[in-house]
Amino acid sequence: MNPIISAPELAAELAGPRPPVLLDVRYQLGAPPGRPAYEAGHIPGAVYVDLDSELAGTPGAGGRGGRHPLPDVAEFGAVMRRAGVSASSRVVAYDGGQGWAAARAWWLLRWAGHQDVQVLDGGLEAWRGELSTATPTPPVGDFTPRPGALPLLDADGAAELARTGLLLDARAAERYRGDVEPIDPVAGHIPGAVSAPTMENVDGEGRFLPAEALAARFKTLGAADAPQVGVYCGSGVSAAQQIVALEIAGIRAALYAGSWSDWVSDSTRPVAKGPDRG
């Protein structure tokens, strides 16, 4: 299935006999939670899902590392059921336009075994229909997570993949080089990782590049010849957008969910700096 859907396609599906479950996952790092924006206006029928509290677990709890560790599977399932997600549901997630938060919801659902899920290409900025301030109360769904449908990496797996395959660093290039680090306590990148900023996956309006352009980009980065591809970012959010882009290009990739914030939580792990893989 194409992991993205255009705004006109979504509008047509919402008007059809089997409208999808809509998840509003607006979120911006360092900004206020997306709930006020949701209450000010959202696509009619959309249910708000909070990235920090519902698409991520508590950092450090149960051995989970990073700023946005994976949520508890049972709790995630309960959140999705409250949003109306069933095993037979079509699901569309959208955010404010970056595609990062919506891709996190997409990845979690796909990883948990739900196949029929897409990201709204361009997010709410691409939507040309009406907005609503009503909070829906959908019928409770029956979705039960069955983790493992998408590949997942821990720190050791990411280190190994950086040596034997292709590990892409989805953060901005200056963070990869270690020139700056505005969030985490250590600057740099995982040795062997290749810089691949997520902003190069989309056009000026935040829409994903065509499949052919994305395939060419990832081929240049070495994905075509790699036995396995993995992605990390700062905390496993923007990396999910990169995995959507790779999926569009026909490449299956693993997510290092803990990402850089998990990697640097252990001072014994090596850190590379500069423009090269290290």
Catalytic positions: 233
CB 136 within 8 A of CB 20: no
One-letter amino acid of 276: D
* Measured distance CA(247)–CA(2) in Å, rounded: 8
First-to-final CA distance of the chain = 36
Among 72, 34, 38, smallest CA distance to 51 is for: 34
Label the pairing between strands 91-94 and 117-120. parallel
CB 23 within 8 A of CB 83: yes
Partners of 22 in beta bridges: 92
